[in-house]
Amino acid sequence: VIFFKCYTISADDTADMDVFQTGSQPQLQFGQAKEPRYLLYDVNPGEGFNLRRDVYIRVANLVKVLNEDEPWILVLPPWGRLYHWQTRELGAQIKIPWSVFFDLESLRKHIPVIEFEDYLKVIGKPVIGEVYYLQGYREGWGKWEEKMDIRECNDKPRYEQDENGKWKGPFFYYDDIYAEKFACMSAQSYAVSMKPFLMKNTTARSVFLDRAEALIHGTFSEWSAEFWTARRSMRFSRELRDIGDAFREKYLRSNDKKDRTELKDWTDMKRKHGDALGGPYLAVHLRRKDYLHAHGEQVPTLKNAAKQIKKFLNKYDVQRVFVATDAPDEEFIEFVQKFKKTKIYRFEPTKDILEKYKDGGVAIIDQWICAHARVFVGTYVSTFTFRIHEEREILGFSQESTYNRLCGSKEDKECEQPTKWSIIY
Ligand code: GFB
């Protein structure tokens, strides 16, 4: 059944929305405070941490535009079982709340958010109103136009209806959660274009968009101020920043005052390129493991990587190198042995830090330290590297010191450097 058509947002779309139904709540009249509705989402299980952060920005901006007309709260999807989180001793690494990694107060200066567990408390039952599983069009993309239609599922869905009519699915590894309604939706849409559908075609108190990575930024992309507003609100948790800062001070002679990287409330912070100096070290993101297969041509040998780093050390006249890497220890040691005098550092978490903040937290600490270096050299199209670029844009580094990458051993002069995403306020 196709019960709605493709919409684009215009001021008129929302003109008749003064009265609306919120799930089981009585109809509310204009002028009354409206009950908030809840938007939940999830991402393809195969996607990594840093693409997921980008999906947050898309969904956050959808919630932002929804709130221009009615109150919606974004339910933060607990982190769990990411392919790259491989430290065995930590067990499953599931149901991790956002507050372990991010500063929720900072997110809330952009849009209303709550943790999934708090959503369950507010609702009082382990229930989600409606789930829409986003998918492509079976017949292919065709010419680009925004559209969305309820369709049969292209593949066997991850959700099944039980004998009581409840839809069970992989709700963040919480066993007893169910949805009251489920449908597949073919969507070729900007994230914010979901607004009319959410406001007019569903009255459920909570709506869950699965495979939300299918929604694209559209005009709210890296080239827009809205993207950057949401991105600036995504501050790492205070505790993780403190751990990174202590490491910088202890091993890299780096602190915010000297480096001109002091943080302010992001709503007041506006930096120009070159305002930040950075600590007296080079940072490199040396992506290895599955990347050797996925992007073999663009990943240098360790010997070649060391050669490239040495050139940057000369250019920037720094003697310390901070390495953020997923490389196994043997590879890291091999890399270190390529240097004679230069001091090479890697962040090694204590057992307590690892247990508390998990692989995700350690990766964030690595990113934070990279974000504060005098010069940064990343890995070809790695989203881990991209998020460091953004952090450095926010801190006010020169673009020359940020948008560098390691080149594959055979790339030589054709080694294209990363796209510059200039911050916009
Ligand atoms: O974040 P991510 O999507 O970046 O996935 P890419 C890489 C993950 O590996 C990170 C770990 O989230 C970390 O868990 N990792 C990578 C690191 N580099 C580092 C590092 O320097 N330090 C630490 N501590 N951890 C894409 C994946 O990864 O690569 C795709 O999203 C696919 O699924 C593709 O695997 C080949 O964009 O680099």
Q: What is the pLDDT of residues 355-380, one digit of tens each?
A: 999 999 999 999 999 999 999 999 99
Which ligand 1 atom is the nearest neighbour of the CA of 52? 3
Atom number, ligand 1, closest to the C-alpha of residue 363: 24
pLDDT at position 9 is: 30
DSSP lists the bridge partners of residue 129 as none
Tokens read off for 185: 């939706």
Q: Which residues are catalytic?
A: 47
Residue nearest atom 15 in ligand 1 by C-alpha distance: 326
The residues of the chain scoring below 70 in pLDDT are 1-33
**What tens digit of pLDDT does each residue of 208-247 get?**
999 999 999 998 888 899 999 999 999 999 999 999 999 9
- The residue whose CB lies within 8 Å of the most ligand 1 atoms, and thus the one to mutate among 54, 56, 84, 365, is 84
What global pTM score does this model have?
Answer: 0.92
pLDDT reported for residue 142:
78
Minimum-distance ligand 1 atom for the alpha carbon of 323? 21
CA of 381 to the centre of ligand 1 (A): 11
Which pLDDT value is given to residue 24? 35
Residue 399 alpha carbon to ligand 1 centre in Å: 23
pLDDT at 95: 97
Measured in Å, residue 260 CA sits from the centre of ligand 1 at: 29
Count CB-CB contacts under 10 A for residue 28. 16
Q: Which residues pair with 96 in a beta bridge?
A: 79
Task: Tell me the C-alpha distance between 49 and 82, whole Å.
Answer: 7
Q: Residue 23 — left, alpha, or beta (φ > 0 → left; ψ -120 to 50 → alpha)?
A: left
pLDDT of residue 33: 66
Predicted confidence at residue 34, as pLDDT, reads 79
- Give the binding-site residues of ligand 1, using a 6 Å CB cut-off: 46-51, 84-85, 285, 287, 290-291, 294, 324-326, 359, 362-363, 366, 382-384
Q: Which of 211, 222, 279, 210 minimizes the C-alpha distance to 247?
A: 279
